[in-house]
Chain A
Amino acid sequence: MSNQPLLELKNLRTSFRINNNYYAAVDDVTLTIKENEVVAIVGESGCGKSALALSIMGLHPQGRTKLEGNVNFNGKNLLSLTTSEMNKIRGKDIGMIFQDPLTALNPLMTCGRQIEESMTYHTNLSSGKKKQKALELLKKVGIPNPERTYKQFPHELSGGMRQRVVIAIAIACEPSLVIADEPTTALDVTIQAQIMDLLKDLQRQMKTGIILITHDLGVVAEMADRVAVMYAGEIVELADVKTLFKNPLHPYTRSLLNSIPSTASEKDRLHVIKGIVPSLQNLPREGCRFKERIDWIDDHNHEEHPILREVEANHYVRCTCYNHFHFPEEIGDSKYVVS
């Protein structure tokens, strides 16, 4: 891992228009991804993880989305680029892996053509060369019979195989950054492990930076170098993976970790975080956004204007409430063990 920053998000704010008002789904996110680094972004559904990913790619529907701040990549602010300038970066320098392989592929196009498509737009390869490269890619992502899959349509493949094709598409032009938006959520557990292994191998071989969006903390522990925990559009805790699992500080991080079922635990009830992530329109815009879900903690323990503060070297936490946080007794605290 080198220390060159690959992608820098500075005060990124992504707002969506609902009934003529803009609501920020990603609020003031500052984050740096270094070359060849895997940064995981975790949080429940509705915390703004996918919105963040699509903001980097500029794939939000134009007209009803407002993007503010900076997304610096290769010395350019991606937010200031035009669509056609952005098209030269998408697929070439930044690849994206989507959540649901069943819907992420065009049903009317063969897998081979879908892989070749990004090469068509970013390289001058002849069609023979493109085919050769597509076959190599299919082999690289672990497709047993590349020649056959090349000619197959997505519906002829299983979910795991389709996700491999999606990955092949994302890495077709050897991007320096890959954004994986919950790449295993739609797959069953055994396939999840295979896909994660594949991503790990590819990352090592190709030295790409990866933004891994997930709510599976097991996946995070296995793959990530650093972890950003997002809640309600904000990063609430940011640390390298070992620190985060050994010494989680923010109540939200601790609650998430505590919610992982463990066979070692003797408790017979699963810990659930109280309440739900507030919807975009009802999001508290002031104070600690997690306050409502840990209402047994006194109000004065929260900051009025919580900021992401470096509490130890490279370990950032938002709001001071972590100093006073404890689980209610009936729940207790179970430590997650990093394997």
Chain B
Amino acid sequence: MIKFILRRFVVMIPQLIILSVLIFALAKAMPGDALTGQLASNPKMDAQTLHELKQKLGLLDPPYKQYLHWAGGLLHGDMGMSVIHQVPVTQLLAGRMENTLILSLAILILSYMIAIPLGIVGGRWTDSWADKMVVGYNYLTFATPLFIFALIMLFIFGFVLNWFPTSGSVDIRVEDGTFSYYMSKLNHLILPALSGAIVNTTVTIQYLRNEIIDTKIKDFVKTARAKGVNESKVYTQHILRNSFLPIAAFLGYEIVYLIGGSVFLETIYGYPGIGQLFIASISQRDFSVVTALVMISGLATLIGTLLSDIILSAVDPRIRIE
């Protein structure tokens, strides 16, 4: 097991190198750079100063030299300076990463809390009215784009009913670390987490429902019934355990997907996470931030895949990692 994980990490090295080259090339291929906007908005800037600035920032070096400089920094945990914010990228990311992780985790937990009961009801009582409602709910959430749904939620619960704050991750008036600070954080979290979770339930419900329908006609379920196992135990001990396998296997990807997928949510709810930062940095051509974020999500994907494999091997004895 440990050997397997180590080997996977070794395989990740070339993957990450290729990824970094691609990201760097794409970032360079984008028109303009961090100074382009400054030229237009700053009347004191002339061509001479601009050239000097570019030289100072290394923007005039040959691309391979720029890449090596950047990649070398990455190895030391130095992702460069954000030109726009004038702080190191790592510092910029730290607080936002925390927010995004909290939001993703909340979405994940909430969506499982909604999806698992609904999936079980739909799968166990197929074709009942309850199942039809589950399927209807699923079509609805599947067809609703997240950004529209999030806007509607924001409008109803934020503006009209005024139950929840409409932006930010915490009230600026509360003191860091106090009880009301955490309550305020929670209060800011509920609306984005709930809207993200509801839209995110589709896949889990669909998987679980189908899996239960498939599993409940399997022979080993008949064996269990022939043993005299009562119906609810047939479900908990035999059907559900087998039906959860694909969902468990999906968990690793789900986490990564949510981190990357929070872009809409964070932008709409003004929630200061990395998704919001990503969008802002692209429009401001803040390359060091963009490349750092893409690199991080690439790394997260690789780790998520590994995580999925480990989870699956833990829950399914047929899959053994050696």
Give me the interface of A with B, judged by CB distance under 8 Å. 57, 59, 83-84, 87-92, 95-96, 98-100, 103-109, 114, 117-118, 121-122, 153, 155, 166, 169-170, 172
How many residues on the B side are at the interface (Cβ–Cβ under 8 A)?
Answer: 21
In Å, the complex CA distance between A88 and B225 comes to: 11
> Given A100-B219, A103-B220 in contact, is the A89-B225 Cβ separation under 8 Å?
no
**28 pairs from A and B in contact (CB 8 Å cutoff):** A59-B225, A83-B230, A87-B228, A90-B225, A90-B227, A90-B228, A91-B229, A92-B228, A95-B226, A96-B226, A98-B219, A98-B222, A104-B223, A105-B220, A106-B238, A106-B241, A107-B220, A107-B316, A107-B317, A117-B229, A117-B237, A118-B227, A121-B227, A121-B229, A155-B317, A155-B318, A166-B223, A170-B226
Specify which chain B residues have a CB less than 8 angstroms from the CB of A95 in the assembled complex: 226
Residues on B with C-beta less than 8 A from A84 are 230
Q: Mark B197-231, 1 if CB is under 8 A from A, else 0.
A: 00000000000000000000011101111111111
Evaluate contact between A103 and B317: CB separation under 8 angstroms.
Answer: no
Among the interface residues B218, B220, B228, B316, which one has the most CB atoms of the partner chain A within 10 A? Answer: B228
* Shortest beta-carbon distance from B156 to chain A in Å: 41
Bound-complex Cα distance A92 to B219 (A) = 19
- Helix, strand, loop or mixed for chain B's interface? helix
Q: Which residues of A contact B284 (CB under 8 A)?
A: none
Q: Which of A57, A105, A122 contacts B226 (CB 8 A)?
A: A57
Q: Is B242 on the interface with A (CB-CB < 8 A)?
A: yes
Minimal beta-carbon separation of B203 from chain A (angstroms):
22
Q: Is the CB of A89 within 8 A of B228?
A: yes
How far in angstroms is the closest Cβ of chain B from A78? 13
Number of A-B contacts (CB under 8 A): 80
| Contact A108 to B228, CB < 8 A, known contacts A98-B222, A169-B223 | no
- Cβ contact within 8 Å between A106 and B226: no
Q: What's the Cα separation between A100 and B219 when bound, in Å?
A: 8
> Which residues of the other chain, A, contact B223 by a CB distance below 8 angstroms?
96, 98, 104-106, 114, 166, 169
Docked complex Cα distance between A57 and B228 (Å): 10
**What is the CB-to-nearest-CB distance from A105 to chain B, in angstroms, rounded to a whole number?**
6
On whether the beta carbons of A103 and B226 are closer than 8 Å, the reply is no
Name the interface residues of B86-106: CB closer than 8 Å to any CB of A.
none
Q: A107-B317, A107-B318, A108-B242 are in contact. Are A59 and B226 (CB under 8 A)?
A: yes
B229 touches A108 (CB 8 A): no
Q: How far is the CB of B231 from chain A (nearest CB, A)?
A: 7
B227 to A83, Cβ gap below 8 A? Answer: no
Whether A118 touches B228, Cβ cut-off 8 Å, given contacts A98-B222, A153-B317, is yes
Q: Which of A89, A107, A117, A153 contacts B224 (CB 8 A)?
A: A117
In the complex, the chain B residue whose C-beta lies closest to that of A53 is B226
Question: How long is the Cα–Cα vector from A105 to B227 in the complex, in angstroms?
Answer: 12
The smallest beta-carbon distance between B313 and chain A, in angstroms, is 13
A59 in contact with B224 (CB, 8 Å)? no
A117 to B238 Cα, complex, angstroms: 11
Residues A87 and B229 in contact in the complex (CB < 8 Å), given A107-B317, A108-B242: yes
Task: Report whether B226 and A91 are in contact in the complex, using a CB–CB cutoff of 8 Å.
Answer: yes
- The reply to whether A108 and B316 form a contact with Cβ atoms under 8 Å apart is yes
* CB–CB A91/B227 < 8 A: yes
Q: Which residues of B contact A99 (CB under 8 A)?
A: 219
- Interchain CB contact under 8 A, A108 and B227: no
Residues of B within 8 A of A121 (CB): 227-230
- Name which residue of chain A comes closest to B217, CB basis: A61
CB distance from B317 to the nearest CB of A (A): 4
Residue among B218, B227, B237 with the most chain A CB within 10 A? Answer: B227
| Separation of A84 and B228 alpha carbons in the complex (Å) | 9
CB distance from B227 to the nearest CB of A (A): 4
Q: Which residue of A lies closest to B233 (CB)?
A: A121
**Contacts of B238 on A, CB cut-off 8 Å?**
106, 109
Q: Which of A104, A122, A153, A172 contacts B220 (CB 8 A)?
A: A104
List the B side residues contacting A59 at CB < 8 Å: 222, 225-226
- C-alpha gap A59/B241 in the complex (Å): 21
CA–CA, A114 to B302, complex, Å?
A: 37
Residues of A within 8 A of B224 (CB): 106, 117
A31 to B230, CA, bound (A): 29
- The complex places the Cα of A50 from the Cα of B300 at a distance, in Å, of 52
User: Which of B225, B228, B230, B242 is the one whose CB lies under 8 Å from A106?
Assistant: B242
Q: Which 5 pairs, one residue from A and one from B, show the smallest C-beta to C-beta distance?
A: A91-B228, A91-B227, A118-B227, A103-B219, A90-B228
* Alpha-carbon gap, A153 to B241, bound state (A): 15
| Bound Cα distance from A91 to B222, whole angstroms | 12
In the bound assembly, the distance between CA atoms of A104 and B218 in angstroms comes to 8
Residue of A nearest to B219 (CB): A103
Instruction: Give the residues in chain A near B227, CB-CB below 8 Å.
Output: 90-91, 117-118, 121, 169, 172
A153/B318 contact (C-beta < 8 A), A103-B218, A103-B219, A106-B242 known: yes
Query: Apart from A109-B237, A122-B228, what 4 extra A-B contacts exist at CB < 8 Å?
Result: A104-B223, A108-B317, A117-B227, A118-B229
Query: In the assembled complex, which residues on chain B have CB atoms less than 8 Å from the CB atom of A57?
Result: 225-226
